[in-house]
């Protein structure tokens, strides 16, 4: 009989992002694979959109920046939904002077920095 078991770190919530205008809308950022990436959970359920993956090291180095960006995306998705407007991801975009790519890969989107403007 095992007295102490290792915690289940698969799909452990690393960060939660809450919509400031709709507090019931919360997306989780989870570490799905300790060596690979972080992934959002909740975008599919709230908006029927692909979840977003961010490379592990890139996310850890710029966690606050990515948290603000994901919050911005959550709020714009919610606003589009409230206005009954379609929302779709842009593959290349700029946010606060930083360029990003958000490219579809299988059933998710990979978010990466591209460079400063």
Question: Looking at the domain assignment, is residue 73 inside a domain?
Answer: yes
In terms of residue numbers, what domain contains 79? 12-116
Question: Looking at the domain assignment, is residue 1 inside a domain?
Answer: no
CA–CA gap between residue 50 and residue 110 (Å, rounded)? 10
User: Is 51 buried (19+), middle (13-18) or exposed (0-12) by CB count in 10 A?
Assistant: middle
Question: Looking at the domain assignment, is residue 82 inside a domain?
Answer: yes
Question: Looking at the domain assignment, is residue 58 inside a domain?
Answer: yes
pLDDT in tens, the chain (117 residues): 445 544 555 678 999 999 999 999 999 999 877 668 999 999 999 999 999 999 999 999 999 999 999 999 999 999 999 999 999 999 999 999 999 999 999 999 999 999 755
Question: Looking at the domain assignment, is residue 2 inside a domain?
Answer: no
Question: Looking at the domain assignment, is residue 6 inside a domain?
Answer: no
Alpha carbon distances (Å) from 70 to 22, 26, 43, 89: 15, 11, 10, 12
Indicate the number of domains in the chain: 1
């Amino acid at each position: 009989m095992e007295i102490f078991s290792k915690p289940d770190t698969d799909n452990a919530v690393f960060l939660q992002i809450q919509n400031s205008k709709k507090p019931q809308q919360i997306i989780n950022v989870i570490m799905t694979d300790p060596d690979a990436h972080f992934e959002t959970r909740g975008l599919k359920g709230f908006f029927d959109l692909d979840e977003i993956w961010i490379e592990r090291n890139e996310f850890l180095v710029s966690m606050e920046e990515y948290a603000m960006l994901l919050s911005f995306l959550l709020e714009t998705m919610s606003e589009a939904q409230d206005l009954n407007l379609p929302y779709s991801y842009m593959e290349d975009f700029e946010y606060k002077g930083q360029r990003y790519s958000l490219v579809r890969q299988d059933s998710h989107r990979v978010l990466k920095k591209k460079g400063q403007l």
